[in-house]
Amino acid sequence: MERRPPPSDAERELNELRARAYGPDPDIGSDPAALARLVELEAAHVADRAPRPRREFRAPPAADASQTAPPVTADPAAHQVVPPGVSMDEAPTVTSSINSWRSLWRRATVTRSRRISFIAAIVVGALLGYAVTEVLGPHPDETLHPTATAAKDRVIQLMAAIGVDGDLSTLRGFERYRDVEPWSVVDAEGRRCLMALDLGRTTGPPSPEGWPRGILNAQCVPPGTELFVDLGVWPAFNDAYTEGLPDGTIIRFRLREDAVHVFLYPAPEAD
Amino acid sequence: MTNLVLVSAPPHPDATLQRTAAQADERVLRLVREERPHFEIDGSTLRAYGSYLGLELWSAENAFGSQCLMAVERSKNLFSEAGCAPPPADLFIDVSSWGDAFDGHPGEGIIRFFLRGATVDAYIYFLPGAD
């Protein structure tokens, strides 16, 4: 009976990472470094086990591929749809691409181990994409940059009124979004705070331009915690920032290193 | 608009609260009506998730097609925190040991409650250096 050599460090690491990715309680999606390492090890593993090619693979010329492609009727994507005015001679690129993918699939799944590696690579790729998305976050609807503002004294007053003992050297204002001006500060305890100030230019008593009327909402969190402030659109209130938005909408402000990201979540339209 | 996860939460919550069959009593219904009337929560949709560190977690739907999440401090007869968000926004609330009438935090910091369908995940964040 053939004895298998003991697993190398890389194999042990790969097995551990695979368990985290495909095991009963996968958690690798929240660990981009581990995911990246798994991708690296999977790639090396596949490369080690794959037979060395005897010659360089070259895709056949497009025209040849269109002539040799087997007819596939089950896959509607394989049918060439030629726009009006375009001859069939101008369309073989689509077939060539499909053939290349079929060839890649055949080569990648010709053995059981290759099938496992190929599917694992797809899963890892999907997890990696998810993790990157989770870490970087979806694209904000607006990005508000720091800005110089003359209303700092007023902001200090408002901040004190809600009990935030901010370190004034950390006080920063950001660009406006719909009559809302976000401000951030680090307080005396080290908490990071985000405040949504109401500029209220379209409703309510007039105020000097850029002179905030009050604080709509504020949140403080320990350092290292993602910091959000939500503003809702409620028919019971008549806040200027809600103008034109459906009731139940929320506007989510997220503090980043040098910007505030805004995410607008409109409420579904009522029937 | 995207329905991707906005919050990169820690990999494991400190607790996961399962939905229970508990019915909302008059106190919770009154809090919904009186503490956050502008949310326009439908009291018949209230669902319980048990208690965590002295807070009762409830979810419900409102008149605007949103889900709402509420942390009830029963001994003080109030909401420590509540929020609503239309789909596909993540729905979470932060209950802090400062300003939210909440004394159950094991130190100083916040607890982020995250509604995930039939469960609510709780993540505890500590303020470094706080006693």
Average pLDDT over residues B39-58: 97
pLDDT value at B101 more than 70: yes
CA distances from A122 to A33, A102, A115, A157, B127 (A): 17, 16, 11, 55, 40
Q: What is the pLDDT of residue A51?
A: 35
Q: What is the pLDDT of residue B30?
A: 95
**What DSSP designation does A6 have?**
P
Contacts from B91-94 at CB under 8 Å and sequence distance 24+? B91/B67, B91/B115, B92/B7, B93/B69, B94/A219, B94/A221, B94/A228
Average pLDDT over residues B81-106: 94
Contact status, residue A246 vs residue A233, Cβ threshold 8 Å: yes
Interface test with B, best of A195, A225, A251, A271 (most B CBs within 10 A): A225
For residue A71, is the peptide bond before it cis, meaning its omega torsion is within 30 degrees of 0? Answer: no
Q: What is the pLDDT of residue A237?
A: 87
> Number of C-alpha atoms within 13 angstroms, CB side, residue A118?
13
Residue A138 has which token pair?
A: 């979806």
Q: What is the pLDDT of residue A16?
A: 74
Average pLDDT over residues A60-70: 33
Give bridge partners of residue B92 from the DSSP assignment.
B114
Average pLDDT over residues A182-208: 82
- Name the amino acid, one letter, at A103: S
CB < 8 Å to B11, chain A: 27, 29-31
CB < 8 Å to B125, chain A: 221-222, 224-225
Q: Which residue has the higher pLDDT, A271 or B64?
A: B64
pLDDT value at B10 more than 90: no
pLDDT value at A205 more than 60: no
Contact status, residue A117 vs residue A145, Cβ threshold 8 Å: no
Residue B20 has which token pair?
A: 């229970």
Contact status, residue A202 vs residue A240, Cβ threshold 8 Å: yes
Q: Which residue has the higher pLDDT, A40 or B57?
A: B57
**What DSSP designation does A263 have?**
E
Tens digits of per-residue pLDDT, A130-170? 444 444 457 899 999 999 877 788 899 899 988 999 999 99
Classify A221 as helix, strand or coil. Answer: strand
CB < 8 Å to B126, chain A: 222
Instruction: Choose among B4, B12, B39: nearest Cβ to A138.
Output: B4
Q: Which residue has the higher pLDDT, A114 or B113?
A: B113
- Global confidence as pTM: 0.65
Residue B84 contacts A where some CB pair is shorter than 8 Å = yes
Q: What is the pLDDT of residue A200?
A: 75
SS3 letters for A76-131?
Answer: HHHCCCCCCCCCHHHCHHHHHHHHHHHHHHHHHCCCHHHHHHHHHHHHHHHHHHHH
Interface test with A, best of B3, B6, B67 (most A CBs within 10 A): B6
